[in-house]
Amino acid sequence: MRAICISTGNELLLGQTVDANSAWLSRRLAELGVIVSEHRTVGDEAGAIARVILQAAQEADWVIVTGGLGPTPDDQTREALAEAVGSPLAEDPTSLAQIEEYFARMGRAMPPPNRVQARLPKGCQPLANPCGTAPGILGRLGRCQAALLPGVPSEMEAMFEQHLAGPIAEAAGGRAILTHTLRCFGTGESQIGAMLADLMQTGRNPAIGTTASEGVIGVRLWATGDLPEAARQLLQESATEVRRRLGVLVFGEGDQTLAEVVGGLLRKRGKTLALAESCTGGWMAKAITDVAGSSDYFLRGYVTYANQAKTEVLDVAAELIALHGAVSSEVAEAMAIGCRERAGSDYALSVTGIAGPTGGTPDKPVGLIWLGLASPDGVATRELRWNPTLSRESIRSRTVQAGLNWLRLVLLDAANLNQPKKVRP
């Protein structure tokens, strides 16, 4: 079964609203076993919407249109469906009573313009709206069912669940499309693509694709089966194979964050963490404390931006900074040691670097970062070199992820703190 989502509204075409409705519908339809073949967006003009509905109805079993069911003249979707099915609009007494009742519940009389929302093409069926005034409409165009839903996401979602999810799942005959995402850090998207090349070939079931965001690579698996169990099994087999190939590059699944995973490992091992941040300005502490329950393992974070703060708060010797510069392996190491001693934590992670766009030199360009990690097993530093053309935001965000990932690998025993330090250029 195929579906096409049509979103309507000039604000979508102007880029003022992002089409979240089609994204939500696509995810939901996939769960019900329906492939969404296209998203189409059209402005507030009945003729244009009617044309798009008619074209889509030639190609899909279900067409779901969102938006344009309000009471104002720019709400044109009712007229568009009337044009597409070739039936005039007529007032539906049941819908009118429901709209009046909606206003009565709020202690108000129905404003006259809302009356138009009770109109639907003859032969079509109204879909009651439990949370707003605009009823939806269900119509048939040949073999295709066309459903009109309001644009407001909460109303659209509630009405989809109430009126459409059941019949669509039934028509899909139990066929299931299941997805699973593995989240990776530590190498680029192309490297992961190369490691999974044969699994990513077009036409394979499950289909596998990658996405990248601030250094985190998502490997998305997408399995289709005649029954949910068959799809689940295929998904599981492929996910196991992907995990086997990528090893510790995989840090989590679904929407898990590195901070959650690191937090889970610290809790499991009964260890505590403190942070000493310069160029990330507290971002790492924010990421760690975004996780509920992080007070179990996170003791404190220091934002030591100025050299003097590094000296006063973390006992970094002023001479060390004068000799090597604040962005150096030596200072990252001293920050981590000072942080661990001051906080009394098991682990202390430090970060110092040049996030740009200013402040770089030929010797120490924008994107150069030093991380330090002090632990019961010793102290080590790591150099990161981000592309200097990345934004300040991106350099800082990736640094946070890289720092957390290093800590993850150490906690997993996959990175050795006694390994030789990288020599500074």
Residues lying near ligand ATP in the complex (CB under 6 A): 7, 9, 12, 17, 19-21, 66-70, 75, 132-134, 150-153
Residue 125 or 210: which CB sits closer to ligand ATP? 125
Instruction: Give the sign of the dihedral formed by CA 194, CA 195, CA 199, CA 200.
Output: negative
Residue 21 or 345: which CB sits closer to ligand ATP? 21
HSE-CB for 153 with a 13 A CA cutoff = 9
The Cα–Cα gap between 294 and 404 comes to 14
In terms of DSSP bridges, do strands 144-149 and 176-184 run parallel, antiparallel, or are they unpaired?
unpaired
318 φ/ψ angles, rounded to the nearest 5 degrees: -60, -35
Q: In the complex, what is the shortest distance from the CB of residue 166 to ligand ATP, in angstroms, rounded to a whole number?
A: 22
> Per the structure block, which two tokens stand in for 133?
């005034």
Residue 75 or 333: which CB sits closer to ligand ATP? 75
Burial of 293 (0-12, 13-18, 19+ CB in 10 A): exposed
The Cα–Cα gap between 354 and 238 comes to 41
In the DSSP assignment, the letter for residue 412 is: T
Residue 25 or 291: which CB sits closer to ligand ATP? 25
Q: In the complex, what is the shortest distance from the CB of residue 135 to ligand ATP, in angstroms, rounded to a whole number?
A: 10
Residue 69 or 343: which CB sits closer to ligand ATP? 69
Residue with tokens 């194979």: 241
The Cα–Cα gap between 60 and 74 comes to 27
Instruction: Indicate the SS3 state at residue 308.
Output: helix
Q: In the complex, what is the shortest distance from the CB of residue 36 to ligand ATP, in angstroms, rounded to a whole number?
A: 14
Q: In the complex, what is the shortest distance from the CB of residue 148 to ligand ATP, in angstroms, rounded to a whole number?
A: 8
Residue 150 or 372: which CB sits closer to ligand ATP? 150
Task: Give the DSSP letter string of 85-132.
Answer: HT--EEE-HHHHHHHHHHHHHTT-PPPGGGGGGGEEETT-EEE--SSS
Name the strand (E) or helix (H) holding 240.
helix 228-246
Q: In the complex, what is the shortest distance from the CB of residue 48 to ligand ATP, in angstroms, rounded to a whole number?
A: 14
Q: Which residue is nearest to ligand ATP (CB)?
A: 151
Residue 63 or 172: which CB sits closer to ligand ATP? 63
Q: In the complex, what is the shortest distance from the CB of residue 3 to ligand ATP, in angstroms, rounded to a whole number?
A: 15
Q: In the complex, what is the shortest distance from the CB of residue 390 to ligand ATP, in angstroms, rounded to a whole number?
A: 30
Distance of CA 144 to the CA centre of its chain: 32
